[in-house]
Amino acid sequence: MSDRAMSDKPLIEVRGLSYRYPRRGLVLDKVDFHLCQGERVALTGANGAGKTTLLHLLVGLKKAKSGEIIAFGEPRNDEKSFIDVRARAGFLFQDPDDQLFCPTVLEDVAFGPLNLGKSREEALQLAMDTLASLGMAGFEERITHQLSGGEKRMITLAAVLAMEPEVLLLDEPSNALDSNARQHLIDTLQTLPQAMIIISHDADFLAQLATREVTLENAKLNPLATGTGINVISAEHEHA
Ligand SMILES: Nc1ncnc2c1ncn2[C@@H]1O[C@H](COP(=O)(O)OP(=O)(O)OP(=O)(O)O)[C@@H](O)[C@H]1O
């Protein structure tokens, strides 16, 4: 089945996207990409290849030098239009400390839903339910900045999922997780309905999750893996 067969209309589509940092060569050179319903796309490439930069561009945290971003059916090119994208695409940052800023875990996880207009009661319930679904019940009153790296990673995932996003953008989600937590994360992500882009250097993690793989090399995005050789899951099979 072709990549597009899951849905006629991609949730996110990028055409000819280019980006360069000041005084640097192109980190992305006319990149084309699409994410459709039902897909879990592995985004791979060497350190510094531009993977995080691409995800930042998709949600407007950086502004492309040229090219188009169409998200949820609309062209996105100014800050106002990207606010809507960020409400609908849950971004798990590479460093949990960039994402956690409230005193307690419960406040951190409830922050997103509150910000999206839920009542305090609804947001707190959603936060508690999400924490429980990730095996993190009991962490509600913990002081966020005192958590271990792996605990912070799971709390940031809860904070993202509590916003009930349509798409997940996960930047190295298995970093800092022990083998039990990592397997629990894999099991959780396998059950989620959202389409997702997963950046990871963990080939086994991707092999258990990804329905296809794209890789960044020399600023170009290629549809086939050159390095990891992960065995991708057939989206057709998964969603039959
Ligand atoms: N603010 C910045 N100014 C200049 N160069 C930057 C900046 N941020 C990132 N870069 C450079 O851009 C390149 C791409 O960075 P990016 O973080 O997107 O890579 P990555 O593929 O996610 O890497 P990793 O796998 O190591 O996380 C790297 O060479 C990085 O050093």
pLDDT (tens digit, 9 = 90+) per residue, 55-98? 999 999 999 989 999 999 999 999 999 999 999 999 999 999 99
Q: Is 49 in the pocket of ligand 1 (CB under 6 A)?
A: yes
User: Quick check: ipTM above 0.95?
Assistant: yes
Question: What is the CA(221)–ligand 1 centre distance, in A?
Answer: 15
pLDDT (tens digit, 9 = 90+) per residue, 205-238? 999 999 999 999 999 999 865 445 566 666 555 5
Residues 77, 81, 82: CA angle, nearest 5 degrees: 85
Q: Is 23 in the pocket of ligand 1 (CB under 6 A)?
A: no
Helix ranges, 21-78 (H): 51-58
Q: Is 40 helix (H, G, I), strand (E, B) or coil?
A: strand
pTM reported for the whole predicted model: 0.90
Give the strand pairing for 212-217 and 220-222: antiparallel
Q: Is 195 helix (H, G, I), strand (E, B) or coil?
A: strand
- Domains of the chain and CATH, by start: 3-95+166-238 (3.40.50.300)
pLDDT (tens digit, 9 = 90+) per residue, 9-44? 899 999 999 999 998 889 999 999 999 999 999 999
Strand boundaries in 11-131, DSSP class E: 12-20, 26-35, 40-45, 66-71, 74-75, 89-92
pLDDT (tens digit, 9 = 90+) per residue, 124-168? 999 999 999 988 999 999 999 999 988 999 999 999 999 999 999
Closest Cα to residue 40, out of 155, 211, 222, 171? 211
pLDDT at position 238 = 53
pLDDT (tens digit, 9 = 90+) per residue, 184-194? 899 999 999 99
CB 176 within 8 Å of CB 202: no
Please state the rounded mean pLDDT for residues 167-193.
92
Closest Cα to residue 197, out of 92, 71, 66, 103? 92
pLDDT at position 53 = 97
Residue nearest to atom 7 of ligand 1 (CA): 21
Residues 174, 47, 231: CA angle, nearest 5 degrees: 55
Ligand 1: nearest atom to the Cα of 172? 27
Among 29, 31, 51, 61, residue to substitute to test ligand 1 (most atoms within 8 Å of Cβ): 51
